[in-house]
Chains A and B, each alone.
Chain A
Amino acid sequence: MTPRFLLLLAMLLVAAPGLAAEGHSATEIVRAAIDHWRGLSSYTEMTMVIHRPDWERSMTIQAWTRGQDQTLVRVMEPKKDRGNGTLIDDNSMWTYSPKINRVIKVPSSMMGQSWMGSDFSNKDIARADDIIDQYEHRLLSERVADGVTVYEIESVPHEDAAVVWGREVLSIRDDYVVLEHAFYDQDGALVKALRSSEIGEMGGRTIALRQRMAKIETPEEWTEISVNAVEYDVELGDEIFTLSNLRNPRD
C-alpha cells in the first residue's frame, strides 16, 4: 500500500542512478522506482505556492516520510497556519490545527476536498493505493533527451481501483526524476498535469526541484512545490508518526 503522495514524493524527489536503459517493462520501471525508495526515509522542506487568478498564497512545509505508509506534514509558514499538520499512517489521515488544539480524523466524505487549499485533494495526498497492484502499466515510448533516457509509461487503473482517471501517463527519466505526470479523463482528454520545471542536485541526488500541478482548463489556477532542502536516509523513530507528535511537535 503506497499512499499516493508518497508515491509522488518517491518519484519526484528520490533519484537513483542506474535505471537500466534497455529491456525493462513498464511495470518494472515503476516497481524499480518504488522498490528503490521503499524502506527509505526522508525529511524535506518545501515551499508550496497556490496561485489563483486573483490571489496567491505561499506556505512553507516540512515533511517526514518513512516507508510507504507513513508521512507527517507540518506547516511552518505563514504564521497563521503554523503548526497545522497532517499525519498519514497506512490507510488513515488525521489533521491537526493548533488553533483548535484538536486532532481530527479526516472522514471519507472530506477526502475529495482540497488539501490545505492546494490543487491536491486530501485523497491525492493520502489515498492508499498500491500503484503496482491497482494499475496496468505499459511502456509507450522511450526517447533520449539531453543525454538521458525518458520513459513514457501509461498507467491504466484496474476496474475496481479507487481512481477516477481513465489513464495516467508518467514521463520518468532513467535517473528516476519524473518529468511529468499527466491525468487523462475517460474520454482521453488531458485534465491536469504535474510537471517538473527545475531539476537539480540536492541531498546528494538529482531531483525535481520545482513542480507545478495545473488543470488544463484553468491554467491560471495552479499549485507549485519547490524543494528547499532535503535529507535522505535519516533516522526516524516510531514516535515521529504518532498522533501525539502531530499535536505536540518535538522539535
Chain B
Amino acid sequence: MNLVLRLAWRNLWRQPRRTWLTTGAMVFSNTLLVFMISLQFGMYALMIDNTLKIFSGHMQIQAPGYKDEQKMRQVVPDATALAGRLRRDLELDSIATRGFAFALASSEVRSYGIGVYGVEPRFEPAVSSVPGLVREGRYLDDPEAYEIVIGDVLARNLQIGLGDELTLLGSGRDGSFAAAVVNVVGIFDSGVPDIDRNIAQVPLAAFQEIFYMDGAAHSIVIKAPTLDQAPAVQARVEAMLPADAGLVVHDWDALQPGLRQAIRADMSSAFFMYGVLVILVAFSVLNTQLMSVLERTHEFGIVMALGLRPGRLGRLVMLETALLGGLGLAIGIATGSLLTSWFTVRGFSVPGMDEMAVAFNLPARMYPEVTLLTAITGPAVVMLFTLLAALYPALRLHRLHPVQAMRAH
C-alpha cells in the first residue's frame, strides 16, 4: 500500500507544472468558496439577527389571532407579571412586554396615523435595537411618564422636535375614547423609512393607562441568548405558559415570513455560482487526469501485459486524483481561512453598498468568520467532484487492450 501511495505521489510530479496548475484551479476555487461561504452565512446570521432585533425578537407570546388581526382586544392579560415570571424562571433578561395601538398623532400643525408601542423602558433595550438608535434626546426611562420617542421622519412630517408636545388619539381596549398628551423626549433614526415614519414608543404603564389596557399588553417579546437556542427557549416558554391562558408563541419565522425567503432566494443564486465554479474545477481535473492516462498508455500496456489488472490501475489513477485533490483541499482551506481571517480582523465592505446593506439590516462593514463548517463544506464538494471527474479516465483503463496499448506512441 505504501508503495502504491508512493508511486501515485511520484506519478503526480512527473509533470510538476501541470499538477501545480490543476492544484491552482482547486486552490483558487476553494479559497473563494471558503471566503464566500463564510461571508454568506455570517451575513445571513447578521441579517436575521439585525432584522429580528429591530422589533420582533426571536419569539413572541400573543393572544391567538393577534398576529394577523391586531385587534386591541386580543391581549395577553397581566402581561408584566407573566414576563417577570418568565424572566425569573428562564433566568433571561431579554424579555419585554409590549402593547400596540394605532393612534392619531397630532402636533400643532399636522396629524398622522401611526403605530404606538407601549414598552418597558428597562427591558426593551435587551430585545430591540430601537432604543439604541436614539439620535437626539434620550430613550424612555420612567415607566409611567407620559413621554414618547418617535422616528426622525415622523418628527419631520409633524414638524416637531425635542420637548414638544404630541397628542395621541385612538381607541382604548374597551373601545372607548383614548387620548393623551405626551412629551417628545427622543428621536430615533433606524435608517428604515417605514419604521422612522410610522412607529413611536411610550412607556408601557402610561400606554396601559391611555388605552385602558387594564394591566394587559399585546405581546411579550423574547430574545434567546443566541438564535440557535431559540427553539429550546421556545419549548420552555410554551411549557411555562398557564394552560388555560390560551396564549400562543410565534417563532421568528412566523413573525417575519419574508426573511427566510430572502435568504433562500439569495442562497439559490449563490449555489448556482458555486456549482459553476466546482464544475469548472472538475473539467480541469478531468483534462489533467485524462492527459496523464493517455500519456501513459504505453506503460500501462506493459504493466497490464505483466498481469496487472485494469482495476488496480484504475485505483492508482483514483489515488493520484485523491492526492491531487487533497493537496488542493489542504492548501485551499488554508488560504481560504487565512484570507477570511484577514477580513475577520479588517472587515469587509463593498463600496457603495451602504444603502443596500441598510435595506437588509446589515452593517456597512462585515466581518466574516471561518467556522469548521464554512471552511470544509465548499472544498469537500470540490474534492467530491474532483474524484467524480477522474472516474472517466480511470474507468477508461478497463477498455485498454495491452497489446494495442503497448504499440501506442
Contact = CB atoms under 8 A, between A and B. Distances in A.
The majority secondary structure among interface residues of chain B is strand
A104 B175 CA distance: 19
B363 interface: no
Contact of A110 (B104, B174, B175, B176): B104
A97 B171 contact: no
Interface in B298-328: none
| Chain B interface size range | 10 to 19
B177 interface: yes
A117 B171 contact: yes
B172 A99 contact: no
B167 A104 contact: yes
Given A109-B113, A110-B113, A117-B172, A102 B167 contact: yes
B169 interface: yes
Given A107-B111, A109-B113, A110-B113, A100 B167 contact: yes
Contact of A55 (B167, B174, B180): B174
Contacts of A50: 175
A102 B165 CA distance: 11
A57 B113 CA distance: 26
Interface in A77-95: 80-81, 84, 95
B179 A117 contact: no
Give the interface centre of B111, B113, B176, B180 by most chain A CB atoms within 10 Å.
B176
Contacts of B256: none
B181 interface: yes
Interface in B162-216: 167, 169, 171-172, 174-177, 179-181
A102 B107 CA distance: 11
A55 B177 CA distance: 16
| Chain A interface size range | 20 to 34
Contact of A117 (B113, B174, B180, B181): B174
A226 interface: no
B106 interface: yes
A104 B177 contact: no
A101 to B, nearest CB: 8
A99 B171 contact: no
Interface string A103-118: 0110101100110111
A97 B174 contact: no
Given A104-B106, A109-B113, A95 B181 contact: no
Contacts of B172: 117
Contacts of A104: 104, 106, 111, 167, 169, 179
B245 to A, nearest CB: 15
Contacts of A117: 171-172, 174-177
Contacts of A107: 104, 111
A109 B104 contact: yes
B176 A81 contact: yes
A114 B171 contact: yes
B181 A102 contact: yes
Contact of A95 (B73, B176, B177): B177
Given A99-B180, A116-B175, 10 more contacts: A50-B175, A57-B176, A80-B176, A81-B177, A100-B167, A102-B179, A104-B104, A113-B171, A114-B171, A114-B175
22 contacts: A50-B175, A54-B73, A55-B174, A57-B176, A81-B176, A84-B177, A99-B179, A99-B180, A100-B180, A102-B179, A104-B111, A104-B167, A104-B169, A109-B113, A113-B171, A114-B171, A114-B175, A116-B175, A116-B176, A117-B172, A117-B175, A118-B175
Q: Which 7 residue pairs spanning A and B have beta carbons closest together? A: A117-B175, A97-B179, A100-B181, A107-B111, A117-B176, A100-B179, A109-B113
